[in-house]
Amino acid sequence: MTREELIQQIKRKKSFLCIGLDPDLAKIPAHLLKEKDPIFAFNKAIVDTTHDLAVAYKPNTAFYECHGSKGWETLQKTIEYLPKDIFCIADAKRGDIGNTSTYYAKTFFESMNCDAVTVAPYMGEDSVKPFLAFENKWVILLALTSNKGAYDFQLNESKEGKTLYQHVIETSQNWGTEADLMYVVGATKTEQLAHVRSLAPNHFFLVPGVGAQGGTLQEVVQYGWGKDCGLLINSSRGILYASSGFDFAETARIEAQLLQSQMEEILSLKKMI
């Protein structure tokens, strides 16, 4: 998907919501466990009731891999089931030496036809660039993550006075452009969000951490708003597990709608729609 198509979708759906498809057998409604593929049944129901409210879905590979080859099949089926105009992010946090990263890129971009993959920056340029070689596909590079461990290394200051996340954002802009490179920036790090935005004014950010992890939509927009919106705000648990009953999919829709209606208001205020 091109940047232009993503922006058009944001305008059409009046939303910049990404839904994390992180299905956990211990949390999905009990009545689904009798299905042949409970996780696919769960995902399908969530997608059916939310796809007009979200511009992106983000399955995290950990929740599929833990079920072995069957889980990998479920991941593939889920991605195939997504409407074609939806931006699909494989939240895989891969990254390896060049020829190996190419195989990861082929997995998610060719075999699975995802639009984007999250990539870890630790191994540098030749671990990231193979993902950027695919037309209209995106790298979403970890920059400042939403978890507590982000403080261990990402906020380290260099002798030039730059944090590691700054160094990652500045250096990686030599590898990709606003048309194929986004950054992961946690909603829980609002004190740094304005700084991150100043480093990459034109790039989209994938922002996890709203909801269960404690970040708020309003603060993310206040500090993180960018060119053409520039935000994909992810919610996983807050939507997926809003109810564990037979009404889980309808309740997920209510939660998604709550976020979408706030986003519509913001997009209108910002004169995007």
Q: Which residue, 121 or 224, is less far from a copy of itself as judged by CB? A: 121
C-alpha neighbours within 13 Å on the C-beta side of residue 119: 35
The CA distance from 167 to 188, in Å, is 20
Residue 12 interacts with a copy of itself (CB under 8 A): yes or no: no
Query: Which parts of 43-62 interact with a copy of itself (CB under 8 A)?
Result: 60, 62
Q: Does 235 bind a copy of itself (CB under 8 A)?
A: no
CB of 65 to a copy of itself, least distance (A): 5
Question: In terms of CB distance, is 9 or 145 closer to a copy of itself?
Answer: 145
Residue 96, C-beta contacts closer than 8 angstroms, at least 6 positions apart: 104, 123, 127
Contact 131, 180 (CB under 8 A): no
Our finding on whether 21 is near a copy of itself (CB under 8 A) is no
Convert residues 78-97 into a mask of x (bound to a copy of itself by CB under 8 A) and - (unbound): -------------x-xxxxx
66 binds a copy of itself per the rule CB under 8 A: yes
Residue 120 or 258 with smaller CB distance to a copy of itself? 120
- The Cα–Cα gap between 64 and 164 comes to 31
How many binding residues for a copy of itself (CB under 8 A)?
57
- Distance of closest approach, residue 94 Cβ to a copy of itself, in angstroms: 7
Pairwise CA distance, residues 5 & 92, whole Å? 23
| 132 touches a copy of itself (CB under 8 A) | no
What distance in Å separates the CA atoms of residue 150 and residue 59, rounded to the nearest whole number? 22
Report if residue 152 touches a copy of itself, rule: CB under 8 A: yes
Strand, helix or coil for residue 120: coil
DSSP E strand stretches across 5-146: 17-21, 56-59, 87-94, 116-119, 138-144
Q: Is 93 among the catalytic positions?
A: yes
Report the residue from 34, 36, 149, 191 that binds a copy of itself according to the rule CB under 8 A. 149
Distance in angstroms (rounded) separating the CA atoms of residues 134 and 102: 10
Residue with tokens 């992106």: 56
Given candidates 8, 37, 44, 73, which one binds a copy of itself under the rule CB under 8 A? Answer: 73
Report the phi/psi class of residue 84: left, alpha or beta, with left for phi > 0 and alpha for psi in -120 to 50: alpha
139, 180 contact by CB (below 8 A): yes
- According to the binding rule CB under 8 A, does residue 27 interact with a copy of itself? no
| Residue 54 one-letter amino acid | A
**Could you say which residues in the range 165-194 bind a copy of itself, by CB under 8 A?**
167-168, 171
Q: Are 89 and 58 in contact (CB under 8 A)?
A: yes
Selecting among 44, 93, 106, 129, the annotated active-site residue is: 93
Could you list the active site residues? 93
Residues within the interface to a copy of itself (CB under 8 A) = 22, 60, 62-63, 65-70, 72-73, 76, 91, 93-98, 100-101, 103-104, 106-107, 111-112, 120-128, 142, 145-154, 156-159, 161, 164, 167-168, 171
